[in-house]
Amino acid sequence: MNVNDALKMMDMDEELTPELKPYVQNRKAIGPMIHHPLLIEMFYIPGKCAMINAHYEMKKRALATAEENGNWTTYIFLHERPYRVRALRSAMRRGAGNMHEQIASTWTDSENIFQHRASWLEIWTGLLNPHGTMTEDEQARYDALPETVTIHRGIRGRRLSRRGLSWTLDYERAVWFAKRFTKKEHQPVVLTAQVKKDKILTLFDCRQESEVVILPKHLGTLTETLV
């Protein structure tokens, strides 16, 4: 489909497919939108849905092909970002075999770990070899860590996400996270903990965040620094 065809389709009179109608939401800031696991569309105009319907049908076909072929990375990433952990769990329940690569890519792509905390806890606690999610370079960096490791977590206020799964070895990175999206009523805080190296489930460095994943029960005493 070229640009002209796409523009024509956007102007065509066509009602939204019934499968998507339950996913129409009215957001105060942007008006009506579609929030479906396969399609998040902010430019929803009732009666002008040919392009949206075509996009949705294309993704459905691609999803069916990925599932049939066992291409689980494609299967997961055909879903919109807020729904990918759900897709990951679906793939894992189907006995998809070694899913370490998919777990790593879904985790590092996620922007809503805390909203899906229960799902991620189930994934990490059920993983026999969490170190399998690391690349060779990440494993080498993990191996070089001391037996007791200092980790940090930046949060927007003292009452937020104190026992999260995602931490960092880099204090300055934690400061950056603490100040990101901060509102006037928030006081950015960096939490610090001393943990045993063997309690760290994995280390991810693909985003230069020196991220480590650890279960909350292994955090011990936290200290906090206002930043």
Both 87 and 155 in one domain: the answer is no
Residue 146 lies inside a defined structural domain of this protein: yes
Both 111 and 189 in one domain: the answer is no
Do 149 and 143 contact (CB within 8 A), yes or no? no
Q: Considering 86, 108, 130, which residue would you say is the last residue of a domain?
A: 130
Distance from the Cα of residue 31 to its chain's centroid:
25
Q: Considering 130, 150, 175, which residue would you say is the last residue of a domain?
A: 130
Report the share of the chain in percent with pLDDT over 90: 70
Q: How many domains, the chain? A: 3
Both 166 and 212 in one domain: the answer is yes
Residue 156 pLDDT greater than 70, yes or no: yes
pLDDT digits (tens, 9 = 90+) for 105-140: 999 999 888 889 999 999 999 999 999 999 999 999
Mean pLDDT across the chain: 90
Residue 159 lies inside a defined structural domain of this protein: yes
Both 138 and 122 in one domain: the answer is no
Instruction: Count the neighbouring beta carbons within 10 Å of the beta carbon of residue 68.
Output: 9
Both 99 and 157 in one domain: the answer is no
Note the pTM of the prediction, 2 decimals. Answer: 0.89
Burial of 84 (0-12, 13-18, 19+ CB in 10 A): buried
Residue 63 lies inside a defined structural domain of this protein: no
Question: Residue 186 has what pLDDT?
Answer: 72
Phi/psi of residue 200, each to 5°? -75, 125
Section 189-196 average pLDDT:
95
pLDDT digits (tens, 9 = 90+) for 65-121: 999 999 999 999 999 999 999 999 999 988 667 899 999 999 999 988 888 999 999
Both 122 and 142 in one domain: the answer is no
Question: Residue 2 has what pLDDT?
Answer: 53
Residue 59 lies inside a defined structural domain of this protein: no
Residue 121 lies inside a defined structural domain of this protein: yes
Both 138 and 185 in one domain: the answer is yes
Residue 12 lies inside a defined structural domain of this protein: yes
Both 106 and 152 in one domain: the answer is no
CB crowding 163-179: b at 16 or more within 10 Å, else e: ebbbbbbbbebbbbbbe
Both 146 and 97 in one domain: the answer is no
Both 171 and 124 in one domain: the answer is no
> 43: domain range?
3-53
More confident residue, 111 or 54: 54
Instruction: Count the neighbouring beta carbons within 10 Å of the beta carbon of residue 19.
Output: 13
Residue 169 lies inside a defined structural domain of this protein: yes
Strand partners, 160: none
Q: Considering 103, 130, 157, which residue would you say is the last residue of a domain?
A: 130
Residue 160 lies inside a defined structural domain of this protein: yes
Strand partners, 148: 196
